[in-house]
A and B are shown apart, each in its own frame.
Chain A
Amino acid sequence: MKLELDEEERSLIEGAEKLVSRHAEGSGTIEDRSANLWRALTEAGWTALFLDEVDGGIGASIATMGTIFERIGNAGLETPLLSSMILGARLLGRARPSGPVREQIEAISTGQVKSALLIMPDCIASLFGKAGTGSPVAPIRVLDAATANLFLVYSPASTGARFHLLTRDSPGLSVRKAPTLRSADDGELRLDLLPDDICAIDFPDPAAALEITLDEACLMTCFEALGAMRWLIGATAEYARTRRQFGRALTELQAVRHRLAEMQVAHEDARAATCLAAMTMRDADRRARSVTAAKLIASEASIAVAEGAIQLHGAMGVTEELSVGRYVRRLTAFQYLFGGRSSQIDRYTASTSSIGAARKSAILESAS
């Protein structure tokens, strides 16, 4: 049992951290700095961390990848890392190896191409929850669709669901910018033609590939949320220390100190749940329990931290004058991505009998 990052992991993270810090500060809009960070990450080959060795990557651990997401979340930057690398390149790495697939993986990793994942309704709920019923033509929200050139589409077929690879130019596909609380790059996709065999990608087990991909992505957003929470707690503590009213700093009020303490405790809860999930990704059963728990607990923590941050900043907290609002919006979106509270509990109870699972320590029980 190893509960800390080892030296190799630490040195990988340190390098990525430096890059992230450089772009965290400085002049320029968030969009500019985020774009610059993405360019730097792809050009320096840091995306290789998110790919298994067999796909030409370094095969960094889940904990390493997660920590990098945490740093980016802390910096408040928005990159295509989730969609392109986790929901894109890593997903493609689960397909049967072929020239075209390898080419796409490389194109994504080098930043030449940005990808987005679309899950058709009637299959599994789309990433933002259940899409409209009835017409398959209804537009579907997709993370980072507005800036993607490559679309991985998961859709039903009579012989079982499968993945297809489409581009912006594919007939029947139209993309519309639809910014969200999360990102200006989110979009809406409309597919006039349900792809059948068009550009199908051969996966040994498409459903399993999708499930683990979504779980990894969900976990990465939990790590990112930890970073955002960490920033908010730090910023709020700093504000409360310096802001003076009634002749004293806000921190002299016990109610303010206690609220800050609650934010800290919430963050620690989320950190523990996220670490546990990061260490239980290999086994599908444990993963279902631990990722759902991480998502639920981290979401709840992010509410406590986001709302506490706004509250303790007073009127300033509800204006765009500070960065607080930006972090809060991103955390609010996080709470509903990959399913809210109810979905997480749904999946947990579906994966295992609650009483049976309840009696087992997730840490000590293995599948066998």
Chain B
Amino acid sequence: MNLDLSTEDAAFRADVRRFLDENLTDDMRAGQKLTTGVYPDPAISRAWHRRLAERGWSAPLWPAEYGGPGWSPLQRFIFEAESARASAPLVNPMGIRLVGPVIIRFGSEEQKRRLLPPILSGEDYWCQGYSEPGAGSDLAALQTKACRNGDDYVVNGTKIWTTHAQFANRIFMLVRTSSEGKPQQGISFLVADMNSPGIDIRPIVSISGEHEVNQIFFDDARVPAANLIGRENEGWDCAKYLLQFERGAGLFSGRLRSSFNRVCDIVGELTDRGRLALPTDETDRRLAEAAMRLDAFEMLELLYASSADVPPSSSSILKLRASRMKQMMGRLALDVAGEEALGWGENQSGAAVALLDTPALDYLNSRAFTIFGGAQEVQLDLIAKALLSR
């Protein structure tokens, strides 16, 4: 076992670094550094998505025939690590990482031709309509109905916690097309144009003061039946496929390293101002410990992505660990900043404008990480189930 990079991979890494140097602007970096939400606003990320797309690097996990670059898991890892190091903006994952693979796997040729290129290029900006007020962890309990009427589905209901719906021109969603049998058996996967009549968005303000998520209301919204991905009532399979697809795609490391770099930047700035809340040697020790854990987490992610010796609950383990690490970083930033972190925007609208605005916002937002994408308690249940079934 070794960590030696082959000449090919070392050359790839050099290539990635060169690309980042030549294409990342100061604005993009600054924008990412001040992002405290789950990913930056499109004003910051779309320009970067375009550059990536021009290079053919916007969809690392897609098969080559659909525009993927054909990278090995290690190369993907290298790309993510270098991007994080350079503070490249995180691109909205909804299109590239979530709906794209579903369309590739379950979509018709017509749908692939129509929907994939603008996902790849970044022209389309997507949001995800999954959760509902009555269906969070228990997603199968969703009630938003889609009734077939001529060439359309008529959609009625509501989706909640939709990140960036306010910016999106497209949505993918799980809707109920049958109430017979088990709840999972009556769910379909539909994509829609957010500009359709009958779709209304209501902002939801987070405890960080930011407007990131929304509630969407569907009032007789008509969605062409040609936007049904896969077969009617087989949408749950699409959702399950995504979970499998995500397994071993491990992309938390880069984001965590970004968070950590920000903490280091915060320490630097506080030190310059003589306002570090912890003694220097304690700060050093806290950073050391965080660095140790981050290295181990990176190794865990890489092991899961590239070796066969992986526990069946690996994606749950990664999600659980990554979300706790994120929260640990949040707490660390607060601890080093102390009182300096307590400022709250004049108009309480969130959105950091300076580095020292970020600790409080980051901390508050980080609490969501053990809730979305499979709450911590659900992940623990899954891990236990896998352990006990051996």
Binding site for B on A (CB under 8 A): 1-5, 9, 61, 63, 233, 237, 240-241, 251, 254, 257-258, 260-262, 264-265, 268-269, 271-273, 275-276, 278-280, 289-290, 292-294, 296-297, 345, 348-349, 354-355, 357-359, 361-364, 366
With a CB–CB cut-off of 8 A, which chain A residues contact B253? Answer: 361
Q: Which residues of chain B have C-beta atoms less than 8 A from A290's C-beta?
A: 295
- The answer to whether B354 has its CB under 8 Å from any CB of chain A is no
Cβ contacts A to B, 26 pairs, < 8 Å: A1-B6, A3-B307, A4-B309, A5-B1, A237-B388, A254-B381, A257-B380, A257-B385, A258-B377, A261-B383, A265-B320, A265-B321, A269-B321, A271-B300, A272-B300, A275-B1, A275-B299, A289-B291, A294-B296, A354-B285, A354-B291, A357-B291, A363-B3, A363-B295, A363-B298, A363-B302
Residues of A within 8 A of B294 (CB): 358
A10 to chain B, nearest CB (A): 11
Known contacts being A279-B3, A357-B288, is A237 close to B299, with CB within 8 Å? no
Task: Name which residue of chain A comes closest to B311, CB basis.
Answer: A268
Contact present for A293 and B388 (CB under 8 Å): no
> Taking chain B's interface residues, is the majority helix, strand, or loop, or is none over half, making it mixed?
helix
Tell me the nearest residue of chain A to B9, going by C-beta: A1
**Residues of chain B at interface, number, CB under 8 A:** 60
User: Which residues of chain B in 287-308 are interfacial with respect to chain A, using CB atoms and an 8 Å cutoff?
Assistant: 287-300, 302-303, 306-308
Of the candidates A61, A275, A280, A296, which one forms a contact with B292 in the assembled complex, judged by CB atoms under 8 Å apart? A296
Q: Are A268 and B317 in contact (CB under 8 A)?
A: yes
- Say which residue of B296, B306, B381 sits within 8 Å of A293 (CB atoms): B296
**Contact among A3, A348, A349, A359 with B264 in the assembled complex (CB-CB below 8 Å):** A359
In the assembled complex, the Cα of A280 lies from the Cα of B6 at a distance in Å of 16
CA distance A237 to B383 in the complex (A): 12
Residues of A within 8 A of B85 (CB): 359, 361
B131 → chain A closest CB, angstroms: 22
> Whole-angstrom distance from the CB of B72 to the nearest CB of chain A?
9
Point out the residues of chain A lying under 8 angstroms from B267, CB to CB.
355
Task: From the candidates A265, A364, A366, name the one contacting B81 in the complex (CB within 8 A).
Answer: A364
Complex Cα distance A362/B294, Å?
9
CB atoms of B306 and A364 under 8 A apart: no
Q: A262-B380, A297-B293 given. 8 additional CB < 8 A pairs?
A: A1-B74, A4-B1, A240-B388, A257-B385, A268-B317, A276-B295, A354-B285, A364-B81
| Contact status A364-B13, CB under 8 Å | yes
How far apart are the CA atoms of A364 and B16 in the complex, in Å? Answer: 13
Q: Are A260 and B388 in contact (CB under 8 A)?
A: yes
Contacting residues, chain B, for A257 (C-beta < 8 A): 380-381, 384-385, 388
Please measure, in the bound complex, the distance between the C-alpha atom of A276 and the C-alpha atom of B299, giving whole angstroms. Answer: 6
Q: Which 5 A-B pairs have the closest CB atoms?
A: A293-B292, A257-B384, A272-B300, A273-B296, A362-B295
Asked if B159 is at the interface of the complex by the 8 Å CB criterion, the answer is no
- A120 CB to nearest B CB, Å: 28
Tell me the minimal C-beta distance from A256 to chain B in angstroms: 8
| B388-A241 in contact (CB<8A) | yes
Residue of A nearest to B309 (CB): A4
CB distance B295 to A289 under 8 Å?
yes
Does the CB pair B292–A2 fall under 8 Å? no
Whether A1 contacts B2 in the complex (CB less than 8 A), given A257-B388, A361-B81, A364-B81, comes out as yes
Check if B264 sits within 8 Å of A4, measured CB to CB: no
In the bound complex, residues from chain A placing their C-beta under 8 Å from that of B284 are 349, 354
Chain B, residue nearest A292 (CB): B292
Residue of B nearest to A272 (CB): B300
Q: SS class of chain A's interface: helix, strand, loop or mixed?
A: helix
In the bound complex, what is the Cα–Cα distance between A343 and B263 (angstroms)? 24
Q: Contact check, B297 vs A358: say whether CB atoms are below 8 A apart.
A: no
Partner pick for A1 among B3, B296, B321, CB 8 A cutoff: B3
B260 contacts the other chain (Cβ, under 8 Å)? yes
Q: Is the CB of A237 within 8 A of B3?
A: no
Quick check: A1 and B317 within 8 Å, CB to CB?
no
Chain A residues contacting B78 (CB-CB under 8 Å) are 364
B63 at the interface (CB under 8 A from A): no
Evaluate contact between A348 and B295: CB separation under 8 angstroms: no
Nearest chain A CB to B187's CB is how many angstroms away?
26
Q: Which residues of B contact A359 (CB under 8 A)?
A: 85, 257, 260-261, 264
Q: How far is the CB of B389 from chain A (nearest CB, A)?
A: 10
Q: Take A345-B288, A345-B289, A354-B284 as given contacts and tell me if A260 and B387 are in contact as well, using a CB distance cutoff of 8 Å.
A: yes
Residues of B within 8 A of A273 (CB): 292, 295-296, 299
Q: Taking each of A272, A279, A289, which has the highest tally of chain B beta carbons within 10 Å of its own beta carbon?
A: A272
Check B5 for interface membership: any CB of A closer than 8 A.
Answer: yes
B4 touches A (CB below 8 Å): yes
Give B285 Cβ to nearest chain A Cβ, in Å.
5
B1 to A: closest C-beta gap in Å: 4
Question: Which residues of the partner chain A approach B377 to less than 8 Å between Cβ atoms?
Answer: 258
- Please, how many angstroms separate the alpha-carbon atoms of A240 and B384 in the complex? 11
Q: Which residue of A lies closest to B82 (CB)?
A: A364
Interface centre among B82, B308, B309, B384 (most CB of A within 10 A): B384
Contact indicator A4/B295 (Cβ below 8 Å): no
Closest CB of chain A to B210's CB: distance in Å?
A: 27
B268 within 8 A of A: yes
CA distance in complex: A9, B1 (Å): 9
Residues 366-383 of B contacting A (Cβ, < 8 Å): 377, 379-381, 383
B299 touches A272 (CB 8 A): yes
Produce 1/0 per residue, B181-215, CB < 8 A to A.
00000000000000000000000000000000000
Max count, chain B CB within 10 A of own CB: residue among A233, A251, A265, A294: A265
